[in-house]
Amino acid sequence: MQTVTTEWLQSIDALKDVPADQLQWWLNNSVHQEFPEDSFLFKTGEPITGTHVVVKGRIRLFVQQKTNTRKIGYFEVKDILGYLPFSRGTVSSANGQVDEALQIMTFPVAKMKDLIIQHYELTQALVHIMTSRVRDFTTMQQQNEKMMALGKLSAGLAHELNNPASAIVRGSISLKKHLQLVPETFKKVIAIKMSADDVDKVNDKMFSVLARPEKPILTLMQRTALEDDLAECLEGLAVENSQELAENFIEFGFTCNDMDEFSELVPPAYLSPVLNWINNNLVTEKMVNDLQDASQRIEKLVTAIKNFTHMDRDHDKEYADIHGGIKNTLTMLGYKLKKTTWS
C-alpha cells in the first residue's frame, strides 16, 4: 500500500493551498483501503460513506438504464469523490466499479462536521471541488439532453425523408416499366388515319376534361361505383382494357358522357387505341407528378433544415423572418404533428 503524506495531498491541484496541519488532521482521521479489480466501491442507492481520494488505480462510473449501461466517466489517481461539505446527496446516484486495482483514502461522513468547524481552508477547497463537480455535471446533463433531442429530431427527419425517397424509388421503377409498354400502344396509334382537325378536336376534348375544377373527395364505395359504371360504358364501346382505363379515367374526372363524346369524334375502329393512348399519357403524367411532389418534399425539408440550423451563415446578428422561422420549425417537426391527436 502506497504511503500518503501531506506533501502528496498538496500535489493535488485543489488542495495545494491548504495548510499542512489541516491535511495531516485529514490524514489521521481517514481510513486507507484497497479494492481488487471489478469490485464495487459503491452502487446506486447505497449510502455515501465518506470523501474518497484515489491514491492508486481507477474507478469506472456508470448507470444502468433498463438493459443498457451508460458510462459516465472515470475517477483516477488524485481525483476526489464521494461526500463533500454541504452536499445534499446521501446516497449514490451511480455505480463505482474498480477498473484497475484501487487504493483510496476515505474520510468518514460522521467526521465532516468537525472538519467544517475546525478547518476552514480545507473545507473551502472541498466546497470548490463540489461546485466544480456540479457545474461539470450540469454541463454533461445539458449535453445529454441536447444529444437526446438531436437523436429524436434526426429519427423524425430520417422518417420524413424516407417516405418521399421511397416514393421516388417506387415511382421510377413503375415509370420505367410503364414506358416499356408504350411502344405497343404507339404501334396501334400510328396506324390511325384521322384528319388534323379531328385530332385537334380529340385533343381539345381531353384537355377540357383535365381543366375541370378539382373533383370532390370520393369515398371508396362512391369511387368503386363510378369505376364500374365507366367500365361498363367502355365495354359497350368495345374498348380494350376497359377496367384499367375506368380506374385511371375516374381519377382525372372522365365520365360516361365524355366517352360518348369521344366516340362521336373518333371512328369506331380507332376509339380503343385512342383512349388507351390517352390513358397511357395520363398515367405517365401522374407518375411524373408523383415523382415531382416527392422531390419537392425532400427539397422543402432540406431547405427547412438549413434555415433551422442556420447553415451557411455567420454568427453575427441579423434580422430574422419570424413567419419563415415558424414555417421551418413546423416543417422540421412535422412528424410530431402527425402523431398529435387534436380534440
pLDDT in tens, 101-142: 999 999 999 999 999 999 999 999 999 988 887 787 777 677
pLDDT tens-digit profile of 12-69? Answer: 999 999 999 999 999 999 999 999 999 999 999 999 999 999 999 999 999 887 778 8
What is the Cα–Cα distance from 40 to 30, expressed in whole angstroms?
A: 19
Instruction: Copy the grid coordinates of residue 305.
Output: 433544415
Whether residue 76 contacts residue 58, with contact meaning beta carbons closer than 8 Å, is answered with yes
The pTM (predicted TM-score) of the whole model is 0.50
Structural domains of the chain sorted by starting position, each given as residue range(s) with its CATH number in brackets: 6-118 (2.60.120.10), 150-337 (no CATH)
